[in-house]
Amino acid sequence: MSTHGNQVRGHGKSERATALEGVSNVLPAPRAEILQKQANRPHVQELFLCWGAWALLTVLGAGATSLAFNAYHFGIAGAWSHFLADPTCGGLMFAIPVAVLCGTLRQGFQVWRWSLAGGLGVAAAKAFGARDPAMDLKERVAALGARAGLPSGCPRVFVVPTPEPNAFAAGHTPDDSVVAVTTGLLNTTNLSSDELDAVLAHEIGHISNGDCASGKQIAVMVAGFSSLLSIGVYLMDSTSRSSKNDKKDNSATFAVAIIFAGALLYSLGYLLQSWHSRRREFVADEAAVALTGTGALAGALAKIEQASWATQSGRALAEEKPEFSHLYISSHSDRNSGFFGLVSNLLRSHPQTYEREEAIRQTLQKVGLTVDQLPETRSTV
């Protein structure tokens, strides 16, 4: 692999950005520049924006529920005036942000417990029944991890025993990160050496760019919204067993309002999570091209998509463990996710394969390669 002496430098370097300066003399300058720019991305600002969106959605959800509550009691004509006079419905609507906050804290506490029990990455791998891989796979990941500027020995590697062709990354930090591939990916897709390296590099791109941590935080936000829906269903169930009619009617109305708020907020939160996931997939694809110097990921994605149709019996990983869907190499659960193309695309956790292939071509041109001028097939180990 050719070398260049010029190092790519940025302002306000992160720990990983500093580590990448040590490997910038290994990668050609255009590829090193891509990794350096990704390392210097303002992660904190992005998370602040996401948490700001969480708070804004919670307030808007409470407001919409209050308006619907008033419309039920006073009719559509009088709903707005009563909403302006008492937007919290006598304080009832304060229950919505309180329930969302409690649900978010509860899920956050669960994530914290996972981090204490050997790390988030290992906990995620164990949730799928993962086992240790062959030495060849460990060596590939170690080489790519070092090239990405990750600490020595990171990430750990696991194999998940499932016929679905897929892979995922997990972990709060690079130190507790893991990359897991399925037996279906290894046995049924006929990936070339370069294509397997590209898939692994994509997952390492998620780790090195902090996508595992940010994606998990957004998942915690959405869990807070879903808890509101669960509370509403519980209240409705309790109300149905009540014997006092007047109290039953008021409680049922409030339960319906909570269910409405929970469904609205969960839907909006899921759209936010899917949007964030699609953005990060493109960035991880770009990192894979920079790390491998090939467009092999495009071929791997096509083979994975084709193989997924042949192994579509049973539940997809994205359905079995949706909390990690934003970090899979491919999400197959959305094959029947909507009647209309626009709605289907909004609900996707991953861009469509042809969109990713086009983005890969653009990255290849950015680093001075084209599809017709790819290096000969080779392993990165």
Q: Which position among 33, 164, 195, 203 bears the catalytic label?
A: 203
Strand partners, 181: 159, 167
Q: What are the tokens at 361?
A: 């071509």
Q: What is the pLDDT of residues 13-49, one digit of tens each?
A: 555 555 555 555 578 888 888 888 888 877 777 778 8
Q: Could you tell me which of 228, 232, 267 has the C-alpha nearest to residue 253?
A: 232
pLDDT of 5 reads: 37
The secondary structure of 221-240 as a DSSP string is HHHHHHHHHHHHHHHHHHHH
3 state SS of 153: coil
pLDDT of 323 reads: 53
Integer Cα distance of 249 and 254 in angstroms? 9
Q: Residue 68, Cβ neighbours under 10 Å: how many?
A: 16
Q: What is the CA radius of gyration of the chain?
A: 24
Report which DSSP code applies to 323.
Answer: G
Please say whether the beta carbons of 326 and 273 come within 8 A. Answer: yes
Integer Cα distance of 338 and 315 in angstroms? 18
Q: What angle do CA 191, 194, 197 make, to 5 degrees?
A: 90
Domain boundaries, the chain: 97-369
| CB-count burial class (<10 Å; 0-12, 13-18, 19+) for 53 | middle
Q: In what order do the strands lie in the sheet with 167-170?
A: 156-160, 178-182, 167-170
Integer Cα distance of 302 and 355 in angstroms? 12
3 state SS of 182: strand
Question: Which H/E stretch holds residue 180?
Answer: strand 178-182
Q: Which residues of the chain have pLDDT under 70?
A: 1-25, 117-118, 242-250, 310-347, 370-381
Integer Cα distance of 353 and 248 in angstroms? 51
Amino acid at residue number 269: G
pLDDT of 41 reads: 78
180 CB contacts (<8 Å, ≥6 apart)? 124, 125, 128, 130, 157, 158, 159, 160, 167, 168, 169, 170
Please say whether the beta carbons of 317 and 179 come within 8 A. Answer: no
CA distances from 191 to 175, 246, 301 (A): 28, 66, 10
Strand partners, 157: 179
Strand partners, 170: 178
Please say whether the beta carbons of 141 and 204 come within 8 A. Answer: yes
Q: Is 323 among the residues known to form the active site?
A: no
Q: Could you tell me which of 372, 168, 204, 358 has the C-alpha nearest to residue 288?
A: 204
Query: 173's torsion region: left (phi>0), alpha (psi -120 to 50) or beta?
Result: beta
Q: Could you tell me which of 200, 70, 33 has the C-alpha nearest to residue 133?
A: 200
The secondary structure of 61-123 as a DSSP string is HHHHHHHHHHHHHHHHHHHHHHHHH-TTTTTGGGHHHHHHHHHHHHHHHHHHHHHHTT-HHHH
Global confidence as pTM: 0.80
pLDDT of 262 reads: 87
